[in-house]
Structure 1
Amino acid sequence: MKIKNYDALTAVGDISSRELVLGIANEALQQVDSYRRIRDLMRIDGDVLHVGARSWDLGQKRNVYLIGAGKACNSMAMAVDHALGDRLTRGIAIVKIAEPDDHYHRTEVYVGGHPLPDAAGHRATLRILAMIDSAGPEDLFIAVVSGGSSALLNAPIAPITVEDEAVATEVLLTSGLGIYEVNAVRRHISRTNGGRLAQRIAAQGAELITIGISDAVGKPPTADVTQPDPAYSSTPFGPDATTLDDARAAIDGHGLRSRLPETVTRFLDEAGASDETPKAFPDNTYFLINTLPDLAEAALDAARSRGIDAHLLTTYLEGESRDAGTFMASLAHEIQATGRPFVAPCIVVSAGETTTHIRPATTITGHGGPSQELTVGFALASAGIPGACMYSMDSEGTDGTSPAAGGITDSTSLRRAIEAGVDLREHLRGHASFEALSAIDDVVLSGNTGTNLCDLNILFVPDRQQQIAVQENA
């Protein structure tokens, strides 16, 4: 089970609705698990390494190195480590959470800071830089990367310090910027991100294979993952689509100069052409094994296999999380009342990356994250929709500042919160959705899931009359 507290979640509320939604979510997460994907993609026959449709003669290589970073990197690095076995010279991976059941043969695993870079991630990054600098033209690097690498792999350009980078990251993430704008700044103040690691590997004359998961909103679903992806971009190992001008515009457009460290703004003001991130790596080989729409498609498959109508609303869901939850409740109302735009009973799947705008004057009273705030927003507006159930999770297993993956609320959540003395609106104002959901057993716990594809949202809307009859007979 990917969802660790399934039994607790299905012991309260609209139980049949919760069982359906959680079963769909669990199966979808299993389908996109990166360990299985990579082991299916990679194998060794004698001296030949096969990755998808491509092959490499390891007899011609002196060393084979593994570099990993990201929130799904546990499973990704483990898959490569296991596939290569004794063929791997050395591996270094930086993860968000080290799971006790993970095991590696020749890979060192370090825990770094996320969403804010920290000193531990910086020390591990310096080890990676030293490993790259020791390489030569007869060496092969295999990189595995997923979302979160920008914080976990951190080596800011001097005189910017790790502390400066952490402050800048927090300002960027809490000021309402889009992720493209956030990344434009982060990549240009880093020695590792925005293709800088690939640039460093190329300078040593070594070869690079990258296996990636993309959590970018707007990417199309993966097609044939056995074929290299010619359009692969961003991450520490791929060409960067953002520019210095994008970074400057993000700062000025949102009035952030006074809130960012002076070292950051001064560097960006003075940076020239030589400070631009690399835009192409024609000699590298890139495989993309999952994109954000893949998880939504997996959820649709899981729902339809259960004989229920399932619809994809969007894979571009963005905006304020609590407002997205209110919208989902409005959609459920419309479906039950009019049969528009879908006929109940049905599943409505969406994916994307909603955000929580934490204003400077906000008093934070607890913990939480966008997915949890979305489900609290749904709970406040769904009491009059019998059986309606909303599940939202950050697919990598940790949502915001909490240890939770997300939340699941239904038409009984508001009543149960009131009975427990929990003011959901007050908790939203204090960005304490984790505490609110925990108090009514509506918080979802998973740990590392093996993927990182932003947020998965599953809405179940039962037929109103059927649901009322079920409740009356219960």
Structure 2
Amino acid sequence: MNEQTPPSPAPQRDLTTIGWTDERARAALRRILDTAIDSAMPARVLARYLPPPPKGKCVVVGAGKAAASMAAALEQAWPDVALSGCVVTRDGHGTATRRIRVLEAGHPMPDSRSETAGRAMLAAVAGLGGDDLVIALISGGGSALMECPRDGVTLEDIRTINRALLHSGASIRDMNVVRRHLSAIKGGGLAAAAAPARVITLAISDVPGDDPLTIASGPTVADPTTAADALSILHHHGLKVPDAVEKVLRQPPTDRTLSPRNRYTLISTPFMALQAAAETARECGLTPLMLGDALEGESRDAGTLMAGIALSARLHGLPVGAPAVLLSGGETTVTINPAGPPPGRGGRNTEFLLSMALTLQSNVGIWAIAADSDGIDGTEDAAGALITPDTLQRARAQGCDPRHYLRGHDSYSLFRATGDLIMTGPTLTNVNDIRAVLIL
């Protein structure tokens, strides 16, 4: 981020003359965010995508931050169908079910409960026949929550690799390539174990591009990548590869041919959530402009870029004239320098917002909100935060140096001091990040 020359202030005008106050701007952004999240709730969308009940058994398996709420929605939609099986979700993301067992496990790092859950799912789908149906409920976060290491690899090997990847700046797509090739359940492993039963996958996407192979590392999807690809990713990021992992990734591939009867359906995606947000923006009297549902890159760089687009809109009416809201989704990245000091508290959304605020330098007429739709930004208890034209002023009044907090990856602490954190708790769905920039 260029911190040398702040942008020229936008022309000042009294926004109250057009009916907008800080309170109204904040309320509009929060309504837009809440609508986007609510549109992705399984209770709203899952039932319409269900197939007819099977002649034989119906086994339900699944993994992800929305797995428990998806299981509850399925039970509600099929009250008289005999359901069995289990799903796994993140700690604190469970919900009450009657027929489908809900497990909890570690995230973002797999733990022993992740392996227990993975093996339980493989056992649940074993021995099924051609008239039986497996419904796989898949959502973001499932890659860490569901694990079954390949022979020759231990869970600790996988944890070591995952930890290194999380701090390397690798994309979620690259991380999942590696995870799939170290696992017996990912990359189609779960669907292969269920054969000859038909497998219907209902998925909520949290990844740029909605690639089924990337959502929870694709446990029911054929994998076109190779173990050599996984090794190349590890070497590209300069990671030390344990000998056992290197050996497994050099072995011949396992056959995971999947049935053509299987079906994979996306029931909610980031784009669908942004469409719902856009409709709410119109109801608020704003012109929505969607900038994309798959924005990636460093969080602070994305914040700088978004600030520039917002300033252009306010100063020149391009790419949209005020009053308007810029909407975007996707997943940015916070890269921690392993040789630097320990990072503070923060997530990709709060870092994005702090960088944006520093670039805007208190220009009036621009507010923004950014949050993870699952309610957890990184590893913190906040979903994200909100910035206003006076964010920097209020932060300094609390004794916070915004540039220092950005350099130290301590954005959560700054927004806690200003009172601008967004606290939703676990939402029980996950369509990745939602960002909205209000321009007046």
Higher mean displacement: 369-378 or 325-334: 325-334
* Residue 294 of structure 2, aligned match among 293, 309, 316: 316
Q: Is the 8 A contact 1:14 1:387 kept in 2?
A: no
**SS of the counterpart of 1:87?**
coil
Match of 2:235 in 1: 252
Tell whether the 8 Å contact from 1:97 to 1:448 is kept in structure 2 after alignment.
no
Q: Does 1:81 align with 2:64?
A: no
Separation in structure 2 between the aligned mates of residue 455 and residue 445 of structure 1, nearest angstrom: 14
Matched, 1:22 2:30: yes
Q: What is aligned with 2:251?
A: 271
Contact (CA 8 Å) 1:14, 1:412: kept in 2 or not? no
Query: d(CA) in 1 for partners of 2:177 and 2:309?
Result: 35
Please give the secondary structure, in 2, of the residue aligned with 1:104: coil
Contact 1:70 1:149 in 2 (8 A): yes
- What SS does the aligned partner of 2:403 have? helix
Which residue in the other structure is 2:205 paired with?
214
Residues 233 and 155 of structure 1: is their aligned pair in 2 closer, same or farther, counting only changes over 3 Å? closer
Classify 1:441/1:88 alpha carbon distance in 2 versus 1 (closer, same or farther; 3 Å): farther
* 1:158 positional shift: 2.9
Alignment CA distance shift 1:241-1:441 (3 Å) = farther
Partner of 1:261: 242
Pair 1:97-2:91 in alignment:
yes
Q: Which residue of 2 aligns with 1:7?
A: none
Task: Using the TM superposition, give the Cα deviation of residue 234 of structure 1 relative to its aligned residue in structure 2, in angstroms.
Answer: 5.8
Q: Give 3-state SS (helix, strand or coil) of 2:261's partner.
A: coil
Q: 1:233 to 1:72 in 2, by over 3 A?
A: closer
Tell me the distance in 2 between the aligned counterparts of 1:308 and 1:187. Answer: 43
Question: Any conservation in 2 of the 1:370–1:400 contact (CA below 8 Å)?
Answer: yes
- What are the within-5 Å matches in structure 2 for residues 287-302 of structure 1? 287-302=265-280
1:238 aligned residue (203, 221, 231): 221
Q: Structure 1 20/190 Cα, relative in aligned 2: closer, same or farther at 3 Å?
A: same
What is aligned with 2:59?
65
Structure 1 length normalisation: TM-score? Answer: 0.83
Separation in structure 1 between the aligned mates of residue 243 and residue 408 of structure 2, nearest angstrom: 30
How far the C-alpha of 1:83 sits from its partner, in A, is 2.3
Superposed CA offset, 1:108-134 (max 9, x none): 211111111111222222222222235
> Using a 3 Å threshold, how does the CA distance of structure 1 residues 365 and 174 change in structure 2: closer, same or farther?
closer
**Structure 2 equivalent of residue 195 of structure 1:** 188
Alignment of 1:348-359 (within 5 A): 348-359=326-337
- Percent identity over the alignment is 36
Determine whether 1:149 maps to 2:149. Answer: no
Aligned partners of 1:70 and 1:94 also within 8 Å:
yes
- Measured in 1, the distance between the counterparts of 2:410 and 2:157 equals 27
Aligned to 2:380: 402
Give the secondary-structure state (helix, strand or coil) at the position aligned to 2:248.
helix
Please show how residues 364-383 of structure 1 align to structure 2 within 5 Å.
364-383=342-361
Compared with structure 1, are the counterparts of its residues 293 and 157 closer, same or farther at alpha carbon in structure 2 (3 Å cutoff)? same
Letter in 2 for 1:285: R
Alpha-carbon distance change, 279 to 339 in structure 1, aligned in 2, over 3 angstroms: farther
Per-residue CA deviations over 1:321-354 (Å, capped at 9, x if unaligned) read: 0111122222222222222222112101111111
What secondary structure does 1:273 align onto?
coil
Secondary structure of 2:209 counterpart: coil
- Separation (CA, whole Å) in 1 of partners of 2:113 and 2:93: 17
Alignment of 1:87-126 (within 5 A): 87-99=81-93, 102-126=95-119
1:111-190 to structure 2, matched below 5 A, reads 111-190=104-183
Q: 1:111 to 1:362 in 2, by over 3 A?
A: farther
Q: Which moved more, 1:242-251 or 1:405-414?
A: 242-251
> What is the deviation of 1:393?
1.2
Structure 2: distance between partners of 1:131 and 1:238: 18
CA distance in 2, matches of 1:233, 1:425: 35
Aligned residue pair count: 418
Counterpart-to-counterpart distance in 2, 1:219 and 1:127: 27
- Kept in 1: contact 2:343–2:410 (CA 8 A): yes
Alpha-carbon distance in structure 1 between the residues aligned to 2:337 and 2:259: 40
CA deviation string 1:387-424 (max 9, x = no partner)? 31111111122111112111211221111111111233
Structure 2 unaligned residues grouped into runs of 5+: 1-20
Return the alpha-carbon distance in structure 2 between the equivalents of residues 389 and 400 of structure 1. Answer: 22
Q: State the Cα distance separating 1:365 from its structure 2 match.
A: 4.0
Aligned-residue Cα RMSD (Å) equals: 2.2
Shift of 1:263: 2.1
- Alpha-carbon distance in 2 for matches of 1:387, 1:264: 53
Give the Cα separation in 2 of the matches to 1:425 and 1:279: 53
Contact 1:233 1:241 in 2 (8 A): no
- SS class of match (1:322): helix
Cα distance change on mapping 1:125 and 1:376 into 2, 3 Å: same
Q: What is the distance in 2 between the residues matched to 1:337 and 1:89?
A: 58
TM-score (norm 2): 0.89
Give per-residue Cα distances to partners, 1:344-368, cap 9 Å, x unaligned.
1210111111111112113234332
Q: Are the aligned partners of 1:122 and 1:153 in contact in 2 as well (CA < 8 Å)?
A: yes
1:137 Cα deviation (Å)?
Answer: 4.1
Q: Secondary structure at the match of 1:319?
A: coil
Query: Cα 1:400–1:262, aligned 2, differ >3 Å: closer, same or farther?
Result: farther
Q: CA shift at 1:86, angstroms?
A: 4.8
Secondary structure in 2 matching 1:334: helix
Name structure 1 gaps, 5 residues minimum: 1-12, 43-50, 221-228, 463-474
| Alpha-carbon offset, residue 248 of structure 1 | 2.0
